[in-house]
Structure 1
Amino acid sequence: MSLPVFVHPALAGAAVGDAVEVLGDEARHAVVVKRIRVGERVTLTDGSGTAATCTVTATAKSSLSATVDAVASTEPEMPRIVVVQAIPKGDRGELAVEMLTEVGVDVIVPWAASRSVSVWRGDKQAKALAKWRSTAREAAKQSRRSWFPEVTDVVGTAEVVDLLRNASVPVVLHEAASGPLADLPLPGRGEIVIVVGPEGGISDEELAAFATVGAEPVRMGTSVLRTSTAGVAATAALLARTRWK
């Protein structure tokens, strides 16, 4: 059975035999919720490529001490996957973030598209971003990722254009596109940027802006997917041709 995973932000440089301590909310989750006890083994990760298998030596309500048994460091997988996710309504944003994290996306960019039903402003923006980031962190732990995805600040269309301009492969999903996603040539490295529109679709003005940097829309099939699932499906299709071989 897989070991439970918890976050320790300072694992860089850890070696076998070192003592480590998890504090605060993460420790409370391990000890109170997961009921981790002395003698059990856990996996600790910093979310930046380092994971350590550890044996628990002591627990308290807000702390967990352990000894490092093994350490593994990994490089980020290539190509790098960036998903620009138009902000959906309700809790579909967190659903999209959860699935994108599980499938292996490296960066998630909330996009305030012109037809986004939900609008993030002020306190609402801060709370929504916090939810997206918390969701990504928990999904990364659940899927045992050593590299956690970044959830950026909210961007507008001009910033999306810049991302597409600098991408090795720019991907704009649109149900009315003539070319299929499967026909895109893919690199072994570099960065793939996937743009997912809102419930109301990507506007003609946005499509025109994307086209100025060579990002023409592509389709995935005859079905029209929800904004919360389209990015996951596209990412999986592209990873099957790159990382998942």
Structure 2
Amino acid sequence: MSLPVHLVPSLDAAAVGAAVTVEGDEAHHAVAVRRLRVGEQVVLTDGRGRSVVGEVTSTGKRVFDVTVLSAEQAPEPGPSLTVVQALPKGDRGELAVEVLTEVGVARVVPWAASRSVAVWKGERATKSLARWRSTAREAAKQARRSWHPVVDPMASTDEVVELLRGADLAVVLHEDATEPLAGLDVPAAGHVVVVVGPEGGVSADELAAFAAAGARAVRLGDEVLRTSTAGLAACSALLARTPRWS
């Protein structure tokens, strides 16, 4: 059985034999919900590549202490994948973030596309972004990732254009594209960006702006996927052509 994984702010000083204290909601869930006990072993990670295996030495209401038994620094996976995810309606945004995290995406950028049904404004924007970030955090622990994804604040189309300019490979999923995603040469390192449009599709103006920034319009196949699952399919197809999945 795999050891439970818990996220901590930092493990910079966590050498073998050192003590690490886990506090707050993370500790409350472990102690009060999962019934963590002294003597059990856990995995702690800071989400930036550092992880340790340790033994629980004490527990409290919202705290527990761990003695480090082993420590590891994992290299950041390459190529790095960023998904620009148009805002879906309902709770499909959290679904998209969950599966993208599980597949190994490094960054998720919520995008206010012109045809997005959902609108993030004011308090709703704050709460929606918090839900996406919470979903990414929990999914990363479930997937046992040493490097956790970053969920950016909502981006405008102009901000997405600037992001595409710096990519080693940038693609826009589009049902009318003639170039298949499966035919692309994927870099073994660097930065790959995938743009996923909303339920109503990417507009002609957006597509033109993205193309001018160097993005290529590609199709996955004859089937039209939901916006919440298209990114997963595209990233899986891309990763299968890199050393990460070979």
Query: Fold match, TM over 0.5?
Result: yes
Paired AA for residue 119 in structure 1? V
**For the residues of structure 2 that align with 1:211 and 1:65, how far apart are their CA atoms?**
52
- Asked if 1:43 corresponds to 2:43, the answer is yes
Number of residue-to-residue matches in the alignment: 245
Paired AA for residue 150 in structure 1? V
**For the residues of structure 2 that align with 1:101 and 1:73, how far apart are their CA atoms?**
20
Question: In the alignment, what sits opposite 1:213?
Answer: 213
What are structure 2's unaligned runs of at least 5 residues?
Answer: none
For 1:1-245, list aligned pairs within 5 A. Answer: 1-242=1-242, 243-245=244-246
Quote the offset at 1:214 in angstroms. Answer: 2.5
**For the residues of structure 2 that align with 1:150 and 1:138, how far apart are their CA atoms?**
13
Paired AA for residue 93 in structure 1? G
Paired AA for residue 36 in structure 2? I
Quote the offset at 1:216 in angstroms. Answer: 2.5
Quote the offset at 1:27 in angstroms. Answer: 0.5
Quote the offset at 1:13 in angstroms. Answer: 2.7
Paired AA for residue 77 in structure 1? P
SS at match of 1:93: helix
TM-score (norm 2): 0.98
Deviations 1:176-200 (A, max 9, x none): 1001001111111110000000000
Paired AA for residue 148 in structure 2? F
**For the residues of structure 2 that align with 1:42 and 1:82, how far apart are their CA atoms?**
30
Quote the offset at 1:165 in angstroms. Answer: 1.2
Deviations 1:5-38 (A, max 9, x none): 0011121131111111101111001101111100
SS at match of 1:102: helix
Runs of 4+ in 1 over 6 A off after TM superposition: none
**For the residues of structure 2 that align with 1:210 and 1:7, how far apart are their CA atoms?**
36
Quote the offset at 1:143 in angstroms. Answer: 0.5
Deviations 1:180-226 (A, max 9, x none): 00111111111000000000000011011111122131001010000
**For the residues of structure 2 that align with 1:68 and 1:6, how far apart are their CA atoms?**
14
SS at match of 2:187: coil
Give the % identical residues.
Answer: 62
* CA root-mean-square deviation: 0.7
SS at match of 2:245: coil
**For the residues of structure 1 that align with 2:132 and 2:216, how far apart are their CA atoms?**
28
Paired AA for residue 227 in structure 1? T
What are structure 1's unaligned runs of at least 5 residues?
Answer: none
**For the residues of structure 2 that align with 1:236 and 1:216, how far apart are their CA atoms?**
18
